A and B are shown apart, each in its own frame.
Chain A
């Protein structure tokens, strides 16, 4: 399979002003720090990690909603880093995004029809009957009735709004969609609807997804492959069964162990390994392996040398000194 999207050494540092009033200084927040990642055509790549690990920033970098500090992005065989806004516009049709917050993602002063129609208008369509028909089709595709077109966002439930957001992302017929925590703001009983919808749409339209989430169970359910991020770095990438049944990186192992199980008789407390401590700040990440401050298997080398992403098993990439001793 070929890569539809590929990132090489992708980096994003945000300048953060700090210090006292008199002694101002700027620090680089290393949100994404040298990430190599390939997303294959037609697959769903799950991207997991805890808050502040840079997963959302990475998603936005890939479709150039944020300008990278360094590195290179290739989309569908073309390098898109460095393209002007104008040159970028033709690629934008093919890459779209679905957001987490179903309230903040829709302009409250626009009707659903105007919201879904906007991407078409930007790409040269006129607000005529043919365009309206496309909006109606997009609505039907996400399971909303045609009369929803005339309503405003505040009239819908969270799940319905998320459907509108999906319709807007799909109306341009994209190849690649970044799903940035698309279900985590929804009620549990509604999440499954949206997950099912996304899976159906992927099958019907042949979409490629980057599915960003902090919920490991949802990611396992929807993904073909999974990438795990910690403090701006990808620490493990593999096919999903490999990740979940044989996680190699201690952080991946800890993440999976921390997920509550739905069997009260198998309570995790006291039985499984818990990692102690908090996530360090991305403003001042630990030296060497960034996980060494919390890692139960830490070795001296972990504090000084950063582990490279290696491939200990076919198609299973890990960045850890345990797996790949120096």
Chain B
């Protein structure tokens, strides 16, 4: 390239003084906004409790959650047994904490599978018009089933296990994620900066990677935080119905299913995992609302 020496542009001089000295990376600004957002902070706090319990499970709940001790059965919460014991004398503290770990593992796995396959399907369908019809009709067919019914169906066919629960929930939620990614991609595909890249000779792969996917991430992240909550809730439902992880592995769902029989004598067995579930879902929903407020520009303009 052979540009001549840049001449002075007097009209621009006042502008030049306006160019800010401090670099503001957009990601940094988003973070700063997030950490000023009350809902988001509350959500992070609540979910943080569950996450910490899941990670620290081996340390804070060293008692084997499956260890039977019939002589201690139906002990209400007290100094020895923080959350009391169940009908087999197992420590409910251990069972709920380890249950948290399972919930978090399943939640993360489902979110991860959605992030990968939902983005892939959504981006392909949104960007390449020729693929759109085929991919979206399959998607629509899967979305036509009520979520929990489809999950029950898939686990019933595959058999109850942690892995199959993850698989079932991924099948249920990926079409929904794909739809959200697709709709952002369709909008972004028409942006003028994408046109500019085409005009410069950029290929599809570069356009998707540099221009479309990074800008489609915001709504996806919001969706994934809500998805985490749905996944935890659905997993609890499945194991409550006996379709989740096989007992004696503790999950909030199967603890509650067992506790249901002793609801009047030992109400803590069903109440405590229920509260844990509530904290998780509420925390994630608040976190998702906060993310949406900060990340979704359409809502920000209205404020």
Contacts and interface: CB of A to CB of B under 8 A. Distances in A.
A–B: direct contact at CB < 8 Å: yes
Interface of A: 60, 63, 65, 85, 88-89, 92-93, 95-97, 99-101, 104-110, 115, 118-119, 122-123, 134, 137-138, 140-145, 147-148, 150-152, 154-157, 159-160, 163, 165, 168-173, 192-193, 196-197, 200, 204-205
Contacts of A204: 4, 7
B61 interface: no
Interface in B69-126: none
Interface residues of B, number: 38
Interface of B: 1-4, 6-9, 11-13, 15-16, 18-21, 23-26, 191-193, 195-203, 206, 210-211, 214-215
Contacts of A97: 195-196, 199
A152 B26 contact: yes
Given A97-B196, A154-B26, 13 more contacts: A65-B198, A92-B200, A95-B199, A105-B192, A109-B215, A141-B6, A160-B15, A160-B19, A163-B15, A165-B196, A172-B1, A173-B1, A192-B11
Nearest to A101: B192
Contacts of A150: 23
Contacts of B1: 134, 137, 171-173
Contacts of B193: 104-107, 115
Contacts of B16: 143-145
A99 B193 CA distance: 9
A99 B25 CA distance: 24
Contacts of B191: 104, 107
A108 B11 contact: no
A156 B9 CA distance: 17
12 contacts: A97-B195, A107-B191, A108-B26, A108-B215, A109-B26, A118-B200, A138-B3, A140-B6, A142-B9, A148-B19, A151-B19, A157-B15
Contacts of A122: 197, 200-202, 206
A119 B210 contact: no
B199 A118 contact: no
A155 B15 contact: no
B19 A137 contact: no
B68 to A, nearest CB: 55
Contacts of B18: 157, 160
A132 to B, nearest CB: 13
Contact of B11 (A60, A155, A196): A196
Contacts of B201: 88-89, 92-93, 119, 122-123
Contacts of A101: 192
Nearest to A159: B15
B185 to A, nearest CB: 14
Nearest to B194: A107
